[in-house]
Amino acid sequence: MNAPIHAKTFKSGNSEAIRLPKGVGFGIGTEMRVERDAHRIVLTPVTDPAEEKRKLLRMLAELDALPKPSYTPTH
């Protein structure tokens, strides 16, 4: 785990916000799940199962398109 980074909350409209310092952000516009665990706030990027499936299928298609290894059995 990396060393802790300190930041302060601020008011943004009617909400309380925190600016994530460079290097710890998730990317502008990333949908996040926010969970409170006692005195901790846990931020987790939300994944779209359909998009994850499309990515996996694209990756499998790319793997399938690779040249097949040729080998000669030694037995």
Write out pLDDT tens, residues 25-53: 888 888 899 999 999 999 999 888 888 89
Over 70: is that where the pLDDT of 1 sits? no
Q: Looking at residue 48, what is its pLDDT?
A: 83
* Residue 33, C-beta contacts closer than 8 angstroms, at least 6 positions apart: 43, 44, 45, 46
Over 80: is that where the pLDDT of 2 sits? no
How much is the mean pLDDT over the chain?
A: 89
pTM: 0.55
Strand-pair category, 32-37 with 15-18? unpaired
Q: Looking at residue 71, what is its pLDDT?
A: 81
